[in-house]
Amino acid sequence: MYKKLPISVLVLTKNEEASLPCCLGALKDFDEVIVVDSESTDRTAQIAKEYGVRVEQFTWNGAYPKKKQWSLDHIQTKHKMVFLVDADEVITPGLVTELQKTDLTAAGYFVRGRYVWQGKILKHGMMNNKLCLFDKTKMEFPVSDDLDLTGDWEVEMHYQPVLKEGYENEPVAQIQTPLLHEACGNKQNWLEKHQFYARWEAGMVLRNGFPADPSPQRERLKRLFRRLPLRGVIAFFYSYLFKLGFLDGFAGLDFALARARYYGMINAALSASSTASEKSSAAHAVRSGL
């Protein structure tokens, strides 16, 4: 007898009527699917109900917990194992098959994202890898000192959940089959969103505010990469040559250039912050008569 995956999927949404049908249509093999909406003004909630999916509304109060951890704390789920999915992500049949063969005994699982760029599924190049499948009784999103950097951004930014106190020695594993992530969409929206991400990341670098990654090896690599000059150039060659992005043709080249632009934005934000700090110090010295 066929049994659905004993996982509660939480789909985070805000005005996602264009992306949501593909996302929800790929989740039929999961035992529970819940859309956590942020008071969308489009048809997001209606589409979720048309798919027979439960909808919970989230209103941010400007403090922690933000949306992901709030969902873990306040939404009753059938299963302890939860899968946080964005509306622009699609679970593939291959990923479902791997999950069906996985015993799900680890505290959490990293899941890779295969980018869809300019309408093409990239088979090569840089992938993201998120710890988005985990036991909510054993893992949590840490409070980060970034409220002054994120403004009205209600969702935790680019860092992973961590093991809760008492579960520090629990294993964290890797799922091999990627999901699909529609990374490009509208190019202007991509640019605006990543300019925001870059300002946030620059601020976190300056205050050394990133929560530690649950994988020690990933944490060491991230710390090293943040210190490197010319990160944009390194990211381009890593994605386009080392990870064989050139095999994806023009889309692979455009994606590698986009990664380089993103890290260029971070460097620009860091430079602007350093210049502002130097001007502030000079002005203070003048006022102090130094």
Report the alpha-carbon distance of residue 240 to residue 103 in Å, rounded.
Answer: 35
3-state helix, strand, coil in the chain (%, to 5): 40, 20, 35
For the record, the structure tokens of 256 come out as: 């590698």
Rounded CA-CA distance 25/13 in Å is 15
Report the alpha-carbon distance of residue 155 to residue 201 in Å, rounded.
Answer: 15
23-49 confidence digits (pLDDT tens): 999 999 999 999 999 999 999 999 999
Interatomic CA distance for residues 25 and 4, integer angstroms: 15
The pLDDT, as a whole number, for residue 278 is: 42
Tokens of 171: 């294993």
Region 249-275: mean pLDDT is 89
pTM of this prediction exceeds 0.85: yes
| C-alpha torsion angle, residues 90, 92, 98, 101 (rounded to 10) | 90
Query: What is the pLDDT of the chain when averaged over all its residues?
Result: 90
| pLDDT given for residue 143 in this prediction | 93
Could you tell me if 204 and 150 are in contact, meaning their C-beta atoms sit under 8 angstroms apart?
no
Q: How confident is the model over 165-187, as pLDDT tens digits?
A: 999 999 999 999 999 998 665 55
What CATH number does the domain located at 5-282 have?
3.90.550
